[in-house]
Chains A and B, each alone.
Chain A
Amino acid sequence: MLRMNSVSKVYRTDTVETHALREFSLSVEEGEFVSVTGPSGSGKTTFLNIAGLLEELTDGSYELDGRDISSLNDRERSRVRNEKIGFIFQSFNLIPELDIFDNVDVPLRYRGLKSAERRRRVERCLELVGLASRMKHLPAQLSGGQQQRVAIARALAGEPRFLLADEPTGNLDTHMADSVMELLAEINAGGTTIIMVTHELTLADRAKRNIFVRDGNVSDGYGSDASPELHFASAANA
């Protein structure tokens, strides 16, 4: 479903060349819940940005649903983002001047759905995250956990095949983080593929499969004879 083959990403300035991903290869099948961990600067977020078509890769190939992404133009990439991918960000990224309903409605507007269909989807998703009664509230009137639930509702409203979550609980306390993780597990149980970047190993363990990224490369799982902590320790010593 998601296939990256020897993907490289290089950031260039006049004087510096930074290799964020090197020969990065990964396959994710439909319905998987994959966590991506690794030390800071290892390339986790770069991987997620490329997977979410927010950045272009420098080299290699990337197929999503059997389609070569590198050949798409801006309009086509935007359509793929809108129809196949949902994003959940650490800092929620809700639009402060729009109420909750309108925030969830944003991706549906870009898809050009009719008003009645948009309303049906927004209400269903807000119900799913337990915020149907807060539709007319502004983001600032909600707690951090509730804001992240709205962000999840927004990501789900487009009924995406992929949910890409970047530190989805990073700004939440333990209780709220737990409830968000439960929600993600429910969503995954419904068939949505989830790729979650996190630096919290306890959360990573709740995924069905763990990817460890180091120096822009991927190793599938922590390995049979090593704990995640050991991986981090070896990465830190490297």
Chain B
Amino acid sequence: MFTYYLKLGLLSIRANPALSSLMVAAVAIGIGACMTIVTVRHVMSDNPIAHKNDVLYHVQVDNWNPADPYQDPDLPPEQMAYIDAKALYDADRAFRQTTSYKTSRIIQPDGDDARPFTLDVRATTADFFPMFDVPFAYGAGWDRASDRNEERVAVLSWELNEQLYGGEDPVGQMLTVNGEPYRIAGVLDEWTPVPKFYDLNNNPYGAPEQLYLPFSLAVANNFNRSGNTSCWKPVEDGGPEAFLASECIWIQMWIELRDASEKQDYMRFLDAYVEEQKLLGRFPRPLNNRLHTPEEWLEYQEVVDDTVGILLSLAVLFLVVCLLNTIGLLLAKVMRRAKDISLRRALGASKSTLFAQYIIEAGMIGAAGGLLGIVMTWLGLRGIEQLFIEYDFIEHLVRMDWSMVLLAVALAVLSALAAALYPTWRACNITPASQLRIQ
């Protein structure tokens, strides 16, 4: 019977092209508006490292002002002071661990005519690449020995390699960074985690850095800091060394732990470390160490703005209005077909049979609305892109993926089915005798 109902649905849609088109359009516009916002929210709140969510942890220790918490209610700082980052890294108590910060460097491309340019750089450690499953097109990341030896090694982004070497394999070649030669160890494949979970400072939706250099080298050579730096007390005089010894926070630290017992051990280690530091006169606040999975970290950092939630509510309301409109149109259609419904009842269709027939027809309208809604969503996303064209991160937020396409169609079909429930119920309860006799 299912194919028969599909055939009847098609015939009915063809028999009432204007009414059917209006219903499809109502569903499509509602779905388009809703899915545009849902898609943006989906991208904004996505966890790009979800497959390692149960093994990666962001590390927080509370070295902040005893008189004033870093953030109410009693939250520890989001970043770490160098003195702690180095101590925890050197202790090497996690399966993998990375400390990193954002800096910037000047690149001098090969060739006499090439002009130098500045770009964003991530100063990080060897484990950054395997921990975050960073894909490589050529070569690989550097090893821990390179970190220890403060070697001048570099990993390029796909885009930078395109720009400097036309996409060819440059591994082993030398790259001039701030006048110093760096050996190219590897080139990343295309990699744009959105949000940029490993460093949510400034702009969580910004593009990842284009060049990766060893953290130890960056610290030893006093590379500038382009991210956030916060201090709760003045840095003592004494140059870079004094800053490194200060309580200023500017480093992101992530660790990889393979199971719950490793997590428990690490937490104990972290507590012991802070207790030890307390004895040395640091960490004046109560013990407040935290390990957050990437998903918890994104939520903790409130990556998704409240405005998006309000917009989403409005979009859902708009969808509801469109569905109410669809209910009205479906009712009109049902009333026009009262005679057909009565005839079918006379010929042996039960209420449940008719219900199935009309629900399937509504589902077809929903599916058509969903397909058109995908086009509307695409247009909506392009509209948002044009509206915020001056922000370079916008392109990362307005992309559609298959899950969103499927969700749009599913939502459209479900919406149409919901809208069809009342009209279909009315259809099934038409008294056949009232419609069949025309004197």
Q: Is residue B431 within 8 Å, beta carbon to beta carbon, of the partner chain?
A: yes
A54 to B433, CA, bound (A): 6
Q: Is residue B11 within 8 Å, beta carbon to beta carbon, of the partner chain?
A: yes
Q: Is residue A49 within 8 Å, beta carbon to beta carbon, of the partner chain?
A: yes
Given A90-B439, A110-B353, verify A97-B347 contact (CB < 8 Å): no
Contact A54 B432 (CB under 8 A): yes
Q: Is residue A58 within 8 Å, beta carbon to beta carbon, of the partner chain?
A: no
Contact residues on A (Cβ < 8 Å of other chain), bracket: 20 to 34
A96 to B12, CA, bound (A): 10
A97 to B431, CA, bound (A): 22
**A107: which B residues are within 8 A, CB to CB?**
347-348
Chain A 84-123 near chain B by CB (<8 Å), digits 1 or 0? 0001011101011110000000110111100000000000
Q: Is residue B340 within 8 Å, beta carbon to beta carbon, of the partner chain?
A: yes
**B432: which A residues are within 8 A, CB to CB?**
54-55
Q: Is residue A139 within 8 Å, beta carbon to beta carbon, of the partner chain?
A: no
Contact B353 A97 (CB under 8 A): no
Contact A74 B437 (CB under 8 A): no
Query: Which residue on A lies nearest to B16, using beta carbons?
Result: A97
Q: Is residue A38 within 8 Å, beta carbon to beta carbon, of the partner chain?
A: no
Among residues 62 to 98 in chain A, which have CB atoms less than 8 Å away from a CB atom of chain B?
A: 74-75, 78-79, 81-83, 87, 89-91, 93, 95-98
Given A75-B352, A78-B350, verify A106-B436 contact (CB < 8 Å): no
Contact A87 B438 (CB under 8 A): no
**A110: which B residues are within 8 A, CB to CB?**
344, 347-349, 353
Contact A166 B437 (CB under 8 A): yes
**A74: which B residues are within 8 A, CB to CB?**
350-352
Given A55-B431, A109-B1, verify A97-B343 contact (CB < 8 Å): no
Contact B431 A83 (CB under 8 A): no
A90 to B438, CA, bound (A): 7
Query: Which residue on B lies nearest to A84, using beta carbons?
Result: B348
**A154: which B residues are within 8 A, CB to CB?**
347
Q: Is residue B311 within 8 Å, beta carbon to beta carbon, of the partner chain?
A: no
Across the interface, B343 reaches (CB within 8 A) one of A45, A95, A166, namely A95
Q: Is residue A228 within 8 Å, beta carbon to beta carbon, of the partner chain?
A: no
Query: Which residue on A lies nearest to B12, using beta carbons?
Result: A97
Contact B339 A81 (CB under 8 A): no
**B148: which A residues are within 8 A, CB to CB?**
none
Query: Which residue on B lies nearest to A82, using beta carbons?
Result: B348
Q: Is residue B346 within 8 Å, beta carbon to beta carbon, of the partner chain?
A: yes
Q: How far in angstroms is the closest Cβ of chain A from B64? A: 71
**B402: which A residues are within 8 A, CB to CB?**
none
Given A110-B348, A111-B348, verify A78-B438 contact (CB < 8 Å): no
**A75: which B residues are within 8 A, CB to CB?**
350-352
Q: How far in angstroms is the closest Cβ of chain A from B354? A: 9
Q: How far in angstroms is the closest Cβ of chain B from A105? A: 9
**B4: which A residues are within 8 A, CB to CB?**
109
Contact A95 B350 (CB under 8 A): no
Across the interface, B438 reaches (CB within 8 A) one of A52, A81, A91, A98, namely A91
Given A75-B352, A95-B340, verify A52-B346 contact (CB < 8 Å): yes
Query: Which residue on B lies nearest to A164, using beta carbons?
Result: B346
Q: Is residue B67 within 8 Å, beta carbon to beta carbon, of the partner chain?
A: no
**A170: which B residues are within 8 A, CB to CB?**
439
A87 to B349, CA, bound (A): 14
Given A49-B433, A89-B437, A90-B438, verify A54-B345 contact (CB < 8 Å): yes
Contacts beyond the supplied A89-B436, A110-B353: 7 A-B pairs with Cβ under 8 Å: A49-B433, A52-B346, A54-B431, A81-B345, A81-B346, A81-B348, A170-B439
Q: List 27 A-B contacts (CB under 8 A).
A: A45-B433, A52-B346, A54-B345, A55-B432, A74-B352, A75-B351, A78-B349, A78-B353, A79-B348, A79-B350, A81-B345, A81-B348, A87-B436, A90-B437, A90-B438, A91-B437, A93-B339, A93-B343, A95-B340, A97-B11, A97-B14, A110-B348, A110-B349, A112-B1, A167-B437, A167-B439, A170-B439
Chain A positions near chain B (C-beta within 8 angstroms): 40, 45, 49, 52, 54-55, 74-75, 78-79, 81-83, 87, 89-91, 93, 95-98, 106-107, 109-112, 154, 158, 166-167, 170
